[in-house]
Amino acid sequence: MDFRMQDRMDKMNNTASVMKQVVVLVGAGSIGQAIVRRVAAGKHVVLADYSLEHAQQAATTLENAGFECSTIQCDLGSKDDILRLVDFATGKGEVTNVINAAGVSPSQAPVEEILRVDLYGTSVLLEEFGKVIAPGGSGVIISSQSGHRLHALPQEQNEALAMSPCDELLSLPFISAITDTLKAYQYSKRCNVLRVMGEATRWGRRGATINSISPGIIITPLANDELHGPRKDGYLRMIEGMPARRAGTPDEVGDLAEFLMSSRGRFISGADLLIDGGCTASYWYGDLQYLKATH
């Protein structure tokens, strides 16, 4: 082969390597993997999880399906970990997609941990990846229907959650006063939605979109445990009171995320989409209104 031709080919291959498109997934569970399978073909997948072992297990599954992956341990509630993740991901190429499916639930953690991870950590993630997201890129934050069960907040609280510097969020008086784990979770998920709205303008300046998805009861290993555990009767009654009369699947959330992150979703940014089988509608106006007394 002509040496000049070989040199040109080597340069092209090196450029292709440097310009690899990267999909970042934080929280390598069922929903996150379902989204990755739909948006990451031909791209490099960075899997970040609180448990490195969990991330590596997900990487093995995805690699066996043809995806190129690398893994990193990341505590979503740690700004240092998020900054390290940003450096790691941008070192692999240009970040075109960010998916956050990490978090803790009211039954898993105390108030302080829920607020640190779900409220503060997600806000930092949005801000830091908003600085490096590639033109034409997109992001999806997995929030929760629980944020829609919180009463309407005063506008000054909405603005504080949407626009306060991340390091000031946990010291907001109405946040630091929370003592109930469910309220901590609901405020965190409401904050996710508001931060997405606030960040959409900044992501838009880079030609990128950012949205949130609020799932209802989705069948994952954790949900299956709940449906077969001591609180199963309450969950089954909730499902029966929903218009859909069933739980959802990670693939259905993945389909919605794929739309938002595709060329067909380019006019959608700063939005939150409920995917809950009508559970929230029933909570406020239908057969599930009895839950208001406990929430």
| The total number of residues written for the chain in this structure | 295
Backbone angles phi, psi at 11, to 5 degrees: -65, -40
Q: Which two tokens stand for residue 184?
A: 């901590």
- Residue pair 219/249 in contact by the 8 Å Cβ criterion: yes
Outline where the chain has alpha helix (H): 3-18, 30-39, 52-63, 79-90, 111-114, 122-130, 155-163, 173-176, 181-205, 221-227, 232-240, 250-261, 279-285
Handedness of CA 41, 249, 99, 159 (dihedral sign): positive
Place of tokens 């693939």: 251
- Distance separating alpha carbons of residues 215 and 49, to the nearest angstrom: 20
Residues assigned a catalytic role: 185, 189
CB-based burial label for 66 (10 Å; 0-12, 13-18, 19+): exposed
Q: What angle do CA 210, 275, 154 make, to 5 degrees?
A: 65
Distance of CA 104 to the CA centre of its chain: 12
Q: Are 72 and 25 in contact (CB under 8 A)?
A: no
Q: Judge residue 226's burial from the number of C-beta atoms within 10 Å of its C-beta, 0-12 exposed, 13-18 middle, 19 or more buried.
A: middle
